[in-house]
Chains A and B, each alone.
Chain A
């Protein structure tokens, strides 16, 4: 569905490439997670998909079609993106904000049709943001805002959704709710590409994990394949152990206190 093929990106006036030959695939019906330390290139991956950074080489393909062809609007009907940061400049009602997700489906003259209204209502129901409907987006708490943004992306439709750190600012309950929802969206047939720092949750929910390090793919595969103590310890540059969570059976990362390690940076 979404394929990054040997993608390289270098920001102006930087010596090192932010992405250096990254290949990965987010397929329909699966939750694919991209993890990695700060500055490993996770967000650049999303920006490359958005066409916001120039590719040094490689291509981003959606259903085999190169992103550099075709209009952004047509792409937006197929792939919805929740970026890492989004600070609303003006108060917009939550309902109107979610409805903006239908933007790529509307013509210059055509207003929202029945299908658009239905998509908006369904997205609001799925994200349980109904009670927020009449509030201004500038007055929401961090957690409410994340859920409303997710609703907007779901309303956008299409069969792929890309999220950059969607659970920042969320408490445990809301975080779990988002992961459950993403997992459901994936198993209903969408391609879900999730950039996250929440390794343990990712290990429980993702079908595939791609671990980025300095713009390269350090490991990729099932959670069990990627969640290896030696690899994670090297990538995150911190002593840690990977155990199996006794309650749920998924691999779980436990970072150790620094004194258990010899030399500190």
Chain B
């Protein structure tokens, strides 16, 4: 990618984040936002900026960065442009954990933890299934195992929700469509740790992913331990996905869409693809969250629905180019 494009990408993220702190039910000017950050604005403005908008924008950015980077690495390692962070059963497992917690009327702070646990459990199950099938390093076997585990998880959700009352179903649905509304500084700090560790691990694996993307035989001949690198990418990607899911529910399409965008913008090696996908993912989710809370006030749209609506036209355009 050219330096100019990198600059544009980072500028887009900056602009989205500034807009995210300015707009909402209460519209603030950039000066008011600045005063709010410094604590020199009115107490209400300061509270809105510091306690509501900033954590929300940062949380959305972290969710997007994690999903974008994880999607880029997974697409490379599996050589599959349809791979995304929610494969390997992550989404199904997270939703199952969260929905079961909601259905059992667990206290609200436990729901994300249950989602996180469900996601990791599903990934472990996927990798075990793939291993039992004898395809430890074979991306196709792992992807198929992920589909199977995901389908099973979805069935489990339907069973759990079958007898639940309307409020539980609504709560579960809201969570399954994603939202950054519950952002807090605690959630931001927790997710920041996950995203930093996850993206750093993927960047360390980036060169190996470049090689792995050439095919498993070729990669083996170039000294890549295929099974180990693939496992590293799966685990780091799943941790990122599970962390974001715990913080904001399921935000679909980002991990699938963003790697395509940055490759179209000219990112070639996985070091730049993963980095750019992190930045672009952050910008996209901040923007989507802004749309989610300002498009139809006072209602708030599900974040995952907005990212999907933003993603569909892009994929239709891609499809036309392919056909």
CA–CA, A255 and B172, complex, Å: 72
Assess whether B215 is in contact with A85, with CB atoms less than 8 Å apart.
Answer: yes
CA–CA, A104 and B210, complex, Å: 13
A76 located at the interface, meaning its Cβ lies under 8 Å from any Cβ of chain B in the complex: yes
A108 located at the interface, meaning its Cβ lies under 8 Å from any Cβ of chain B in the complex: yes
Assess whether A80 is in contact with B221, with CB atoms less than 8 Å apart.
Answer: yes
Render A63-92 as a binary contact track against B, CB cut-off 8 A, 1 for contact. 000000001111111011111011111111
Please, which residue of chain A has its CB at the minimum distance from the CB of B208? A103
Assess whether A90 is in contact with B76, with CB atoms less than 8 Å apart.
Answer: yes
Known contacts A103-B222, A136-B268; 17 additional CB pairs below 8 A are A50-B217, A73-B224, A74-B223, A75-B223, A76-B222, A76-B223, A83-B221, A86-B217, A91-B263, A96-B269, A100-B210, A100-B222, A101-B222, A103-B210, A103-B223, A104-B223, A156-B222
A230 located at the interface, meaning its Cβ lies under 8 Å from any Cβ of chain B in the complex: no
Render A92-118 as a binary contact track against B, CB cut-off 8 A, 1 for contact. 110010001101101010000000000
Neighbouring A residues of B221 by C-beta, 8 Å? 50, 76, 79-83, 162
Assess whether B79 is in contact with A89, with CB atoms less than 8 Å apart.
Answer: yes
Give chain B nearest CB distance to A156 CB in angstroms: 7
CA–CA, A45 and B230, complex, Å: 25
Assess whether B223 is in contact with A72, with CB atoms less than 8 Å apart.
Answer: yes
A184 located at the interface, meaning its Cβ lies under 8 Å from any Cβ of chain B in the complex: no
Interface-centre pick from B79, B207, B220, B224 (highest chain A CB count, 10 A): B220
CA–CA, A50 and B216, complex, Å: 10
CA–CA, A104 and B204, complex, Å: 14
Neighbouring B residues of A82 by C-beta, 8 Å? 221
Neighbouring A residues of B216 by C-beta, 8 Å? 52
A204 located at the interface, meaning its Cβ lies under 8 Å from any Cβ of chain B in the complex: no
Neighbouring A residues of B213 by C-beta, 8 Å? 88-90, 92
A47 located at the interface, meaning its Cβ lies under 8 Å from any Cβ of chain B in the complex: yes
Q: How many A-B residue pairs have CB under 8 A?
A: 86
CA–CA, A90 and B218, complex, Å: 15
Give chain A nearest CB distance to B88 CB in angstroms: 18
4 nearest interchain CB pairs?
A: A76-B223, A81-B221, A104-B223, A73-B223
CA–CA, A88 and B269, complex, Å: 13
Render A225-259 as a binary contact track against B, CB cut-off 8 A, 1 for contact. 00000000000000000000000000000000000
**A86-B215, A88-B213, A89-B79 in contact; A104/B207 too (CB < 8 A)?**
no
Assess whether B218 is in contact with A83, with CB atoms less than 8 Å apart.
Answer: yes
CA–CA, A104 and B217, complex, Å: 15
A189 located at the interface, meaning its Cβ lies under 8 Å from any Cβ of chain B in the complex: no
B284 located at the interface, meaning its Cβ lies under 8 Å from any Cβ of chain A in the complex: no
Assess whether B268 is in contact with A91, with CB atoms less than 8 Å apart.
Answer: yes
Render B199-239 as a binary contact track against A, CB cut-off 8 A, 1 for contact. 00000100110110111111011111100000000000000
15 A-B pairs with CB atoms under 8 Å apart are A12-B134, A50-B217, A72-B225, A74-B223, A76-B222, A80-B221, A80-B222, A86-B215, A88-B214, A89-B213, A91-B263, A96-B210, A100-B207, A103-B210, A103-B223
Assess whether A86 is in contact with B268, with CB atoms less than 8 Å apart.
Answer: no
Assess whether B215 is in contact with A92, with CB atoms less than 8 Å apart.
Answer: no
Assess whether A92 is in contact with B269, with CB atoms less than 8 Å apart.
Answer: yes
Q: Which residue of B80, B210, B220 contacts A50 across the interface (Cβ within 8 Å)?
A: B220
Neighbouring B residues of A108 by C-beta, 8 Å? 204
Render B242-286 as a binary contact track against A, CB cut-off 8 A, 1 for contact. 000000000000000000000100001100000000000000000
CA–CA, A72 and B216, complex, Å: 13
Please, which residue of chain B has its CB at the minimum distance from the CB of A162? B221
Please, which residue of chain B has its CB at the minimum distance from the CB of A81? B221
Assess whether B268 is in contact with A52, with CB atoms less than 8 Å apart.
Answer: no
Neighbouring B residues of A100 by C-beta, 8 Å? 207, 210-211, 214, 222
A51 located at the interface, meaning its Cβ lies under 8 Å from any Cβ of chain B in the complex: yes
CA–CA, A108 and B225, complex, Å: 14
CA–CA, A76 and B222, complex, Å: 5
Q: Which residue of B76, B220, B269 contacts A72 across the interface (Cβ within 8 Å)?
A: B220
CA–CA, A52 and B213, complex, Å: 17
CA–CA, A101 and B81, complex, Å: 24
Give chain B nearest CB distance to A43 CB in angstroms: 10
CA–CA, A74 and B134, complex, Å: 26
Neighbouring A residues of B76 by C-beta, 8 Å? 89-90
